[in-house]
């Protein structure tokens, strides 16, 4: 049973690392000065929402990994 939790720990940690990587590699729309750049604000907002989604998933998987590690240590 303990080996199962050790494998889950590694798997959830790997998934969390992948999510952090995807979050860090999210390309943001570049916005320069000027009134013409206002059209790009919505695109930037969408890019930031995508990055936030990956951050949320990474933080969730990190929390799951910690819980699984605690259970593995108790066993």
Domain that holds residue 41: 2-74
pLDDT of residue 36: 84
Counting Cβ atoms within 10 Å, is residue 62 exposed (0-12), middle (13-18) or buried (19+)? middle
Q: How many CB atoms lie within 10 A of CB 65?
A: 20
Q: What confidence score (pLDDT) does residue 38 get?
A: 87
Domain count, the chain: 1
pLDDT in tens, 5-45: 999 999 999 999 999 999 999 999 998 888 888 889 999 99
Is the entire prediction scored with pTM above 0.85?
no
């Amino acid at each position: 049973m303990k080996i199962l939790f050790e494998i889950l720990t590694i798997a959830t940690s790997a998934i969390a690392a992948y999510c952090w990587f995807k979050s860090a590699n999210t390309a943001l729309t570049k916005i320069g000065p000027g009134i013409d750049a206002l059209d790009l604000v919505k695109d930037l907002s969408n890019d930031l929402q995508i990055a936030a989604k990956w951050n949320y998933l990474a933080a969730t998987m990190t929390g799951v990994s910690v819980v699984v590690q605690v259970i593995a240590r108790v066993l």
